[in-house]
Amino acid sequence: MGGTTGATRRWLLGAGGAGLAGILTACGGETAPAAAPTAAKAAAPTAAAIAAAPTAAPAPAAAAKVIELRTHARADAEIDGYAKNVEAFNKKFEGKFKAIYEGFPGGDLYVKQETLMAGGTIGDIHYAHQSNIKYQEYAKKNLAVAIDSYLAKDSETKLTDWPARAQEALKVVDGKVFGLPVRGQVAWMFMYWNRDMLKKAGVAEPTPDWTLDQMIEAAKKVQLSATWPAEFFPVGYSWGGFEQLVGNVRRFNGEVLDPANGPGKKATMDSAPAVQMAKWFYDNIKSKLFSPRTYGAKEFGEGKMAFYFGRLAGERGSVNNAAGKNFEWTFDITPKGPTGRRGGFLSIDTQQLNATSKNKDAAWELLKMLTNKDAGVNLGLQPAGSLTPGFRKDVYCADTLLNDARFPKTAMKANCDNIDQPEGFTYPANLRLTQPGALQEVLNKFMNDIADLKAEPTPAYMKQMNDELQRILDQPSI
């Protein structure tokens, strides 16, 4: 189910009191009028009377106030798994803490979060991708809390619960840790394929040893094997975002930025590998071997593609729901590039403790539970949305994920192995990636024109793009 803003529950405890009514007893028969009472000194109560008197009950202790916490994530990508994790937290800390999941549609997540930040109404825990620099930005702007002191004294959660590369990525701002991974992967390293279509075309199924050249040859055979609908394209692919571009360039043993991992200061999109990558896509798109860049899981599920490569293992839920029972499909590691490199991008989604939280110790307990083993597995088992698990070895290779009956075991074993892929995390040193006038705008302009066949990726064209990227990289840090 999608995450919604829960209303705060309030319980009003009413105390009832019982009054004692005096009873007037009338005596029957004729009697003399009662004499006026004579004032007299009250007699001291006897010991027996004291013993017989009821003891007043002590006043009930006031119930401890439940601390309410709010946490933000994507209502479409996290959905059931995240809600389940919040529910587990509330059960564990019932009567002490109460967490409320306020989810936002993925495309609106950061606009919504930052509107709440500006208005001083943000929750205690917020979402922050590293790949779009929000993790770093929130840390540098003092919107997120450095949690090193919490990690140092906590007996349940240690930074070593995550792979060494993730630990390094979390320390990119001042060597401190400003959040924990709620999800993570070496992204854009998988290929899906239509098993029925390959069988019909007489094409052998891919193996982990496949190369990009073998994929192209197989795609050509599929293309020539039958008369396909006008909207059929043998291969769908990844395009558009910064991390997709990094993965694509790395397949040809190149880089988008230098240095290749960590804070990049020099653009290298005019290098020979980058030009080779762009021309490879351009030529295959022009020959109609590759689909339009907008094709995705929906079109794959409709049988409009035989291969869907350079994708996320976490998309398997979307692919499964799109394909339904239309055909049999599976997925595995993406083919190797010309030098044997597969590409990829270390992509970590984090949750951070917000600096304005009035209950930081309680929020730390929530952050721990949203990023622990059980939470990571729950995300990987969702019926829809992103099935990218928590970025931990004990999650990726958990028996419940390896034996997820919806997917072939070989595919889930490939997903398990993904956590050990060597590709790293890169980003502009000045953090100018997604803001207006930053790197992503330049990449959209140049790279989308290549995919739409509006521009040919000549060395001169790629240099023009690279020069514009470098002008942005030379600007001061945000």
> Can you tell me the mean pLDDT for 35-53?
40
Statement: residue 14 has pLDDT above 70:
no
Residue 356: which residues within 8 A CB-CB, separation 6 or more? 117, 120, 122
**pLDDT score for 60:** 58
**Quick one: pLDDT band at residue 40, thresholds 50, 70, 90?**
very low
DSSP letters along 71-83, please? EEEETTTTHHHHH
Beta-strand (E) ranges in 174-292? 180-187, 190-194, 235-236, 257-258, 262-264, 266-267
Q: Express as a percent the part of the chain with pLDDT over 70.
A: 87
pTM: 0.85
211-264 per-position pLDDT tens digit: 999 999 999 999 999 888 889 999 999 999 999 999 999 999 999 999 999 899
Is 163:306 a contact under the CB 8 Å cutoff? no
**Quick one: pLDDT band at residue 155, thresholds 50, 70, 90?**
very high
Question: In degrees, to the nearest 5, what angle opens at C-alpha 82 toward C-alphas 318 and 151?
Answer: 125
CB atoms within 10 A of CB 96: 13
**Quick one: pLDDT band at residue 33, thresholds 50, 70, 90?**
very low
**Quick one: pLDDT band at residue 34, thresholds 50, 70, 90?**
very low
**pLDDT score for 226:** 80
Statement: residue 106 has pLDDT above 80:
yes
**Quick one: pLDDT band at residue 79, thresholds 50, 70, 90?**
confident
**Which of helix, strand or coil describes residue 270?**
coil
* Domains defined along the chain, listed by start: 67-184+348-418 (3.40.190.10), 190-345+423-473 (3.40.190.10)
**pLDDT score for 42:** 39
**pLDDT score for 56:** 55
Give me the sheet containing 329-333, strands edge to edge. Answer: 235-236, 307-311, 190-194, 329-333
Is 215:206 a contact under the CB 8 Å cutoff? yes
